[in-house]
Amino acid sequence: MDMDHGHMHDMGPPPSSAMVNNGTGTGGMGHKKMMMHMSFYWGNEATVLFTHWPGTRGSGMYFLSLVVVFVLSVLVEWLSHCRLIKPGSGHVSAGLIQTLLHALRMGLAYMVMLAVMSFNGGVFLVAVAGHALGFLLFGSRVFNKGDRDGKNSHLPPMSC
């Protein structure tokens, strides 16, 4: 097996951005090229989770996308700290419910992560704010009076 990387000139040229954007290879005549940000930017023209959403539809749709990301973040925290399985449940049924809830929580967490990968500063801020509010409501000692010793905390004990 030849491991010489000096012969990389045998590979063809990378696909043009027009081919990548519309998949036709026609050169993108008449098609608007999408720009993907690779650093944080501010503005209400973004693509969050779905193609062309909110896009250039205005501030109202951008605000709606921020609300969706915020709610998803709060839901992730709620699912991380809720106790939906009753004591005394059968091991198999409790395990299946636990697995289903874990899969739902991870799916929502990945959706929040993908939204943050839009590199929009507003999306990043509402995702962090949603996780913070969700943790305050469902995971911290502020509203969780029964967990005074911190045994159910998902964070290591702080000693500062």
Confidence of residue 9 (pLDDT cuts 50, 70, 90): very low
Mean pLDDT over 3-18 rounds to: 48
Q: Is the pLDDT of residue 104 over 90?
A: yes
pLDDT in tens, 115-146: 999 999 999 999 999 999 999 999 988 887 66
Which of 65, 57, 51, 58 is closest to 116 using CA atoms?
65
CB of 77 closer than 8 Å to CB of 131 = yes
pLDDT at 22: 47
**Which pLDDT score, from 0 to 100, does residue 113 have?**
96
Distance CA 123, CA 109 (A): 14
Q: 81 is written with which tokens?
A: 């700290």
Query: What pLDDT sits at residue 45?
Result: 84
Assessment of whether the complete model's pTM goes beyond 0.95: no
- pLDDT tens by residue, 70-92: 999 999 999 999 888 877 778 88
Measured distance CA(67)–CA(47) in Å, rounded? 14
Query: Given this model, what pLDDT does residue 83 score?
Result: 82
Structure token digits, residue 110: 């990945």
Q: Examine the pLDDT at 4 and tell me if it is beyond 80.
A: no
Q: Which of 87, 69, 75, 82 lies closest to 154 in space, CA to CA?
A: 82
pLDDT, tens digit, 9 for 90 and up, residues 11-64: 444 444 444 444 454 555 555 655 677 888 898 888 888 888 887 888 889 999
Q: Are 17 and 35 in contact (CB under 8 A)?
A: no
